[in-house]
């Protein structure tokens, strides 16, 4: 049950596979659009940003990941809010 629509900077979890990312993957809402959000996928703590590609691989011409590899569009019903963003006031 969706309590509220995801908002910018909420941490969300995918409820279905989207663009190659499996259900259960978590990410941060970086933009909103009517009916959905753009989400930046947060890699697992044991993964690096290049998914195993070493600096040597990059030096030898193997292409690393692009920021766009970590962005997905999802409708509100395809995600659940894990941690709502709450700004801290000084």
37 occurs within a structural domain: yes
Structural domain contains residue 90? no
Residue that wins the pLDDT comparison between 46 and 43: 43
Task: Answer yes or no: is 3 within a domain.
Answer: no
> Over the stretch 54-90, which tens digit does the pLDDT of each residue have?
667 667 766 666 667 889 999 999 999 999 998 887 6
What mean pLDDT, rounded, does the chain reach?
A: 83
Q: Does residue 5 fall inside a structural domain?
A: no
**Would residue 2 count as lying in a domain?**
no
Is residue 2 helix, strand or coil?
Answer: coil
Cα angle value 38/41/11 (rounded, 5°):
75
Distance CA 7, CA 28 (A): 9
DSSP class of 81 = E
Domain total of the chain:
1
Closest-CA residue to 87 (of 6, 5, 9, 4): 9
Domain presence at residue 27: yes
pTM of the model: 0.74
């Amino acid at each position: 049950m969706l309590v509220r629509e995801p908002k910018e900077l909420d941490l969300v979890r995918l409820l279905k596979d989207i663009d190659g990312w499996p259900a259960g993957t978590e990410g941060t809402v970086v933009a909103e659009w009517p009916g959905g959000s753009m989400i930046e996928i947060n890699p697992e703590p044991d993964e690096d940003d290049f998914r195993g590609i070493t600096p040597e691989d990059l030096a030898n011409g193997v292409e690393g990941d692009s920021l766009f590899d970590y962005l997905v569009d999802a409708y509100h019903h395809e995600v659940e809010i894990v941690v709502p963003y709450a700004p801290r006031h000084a």
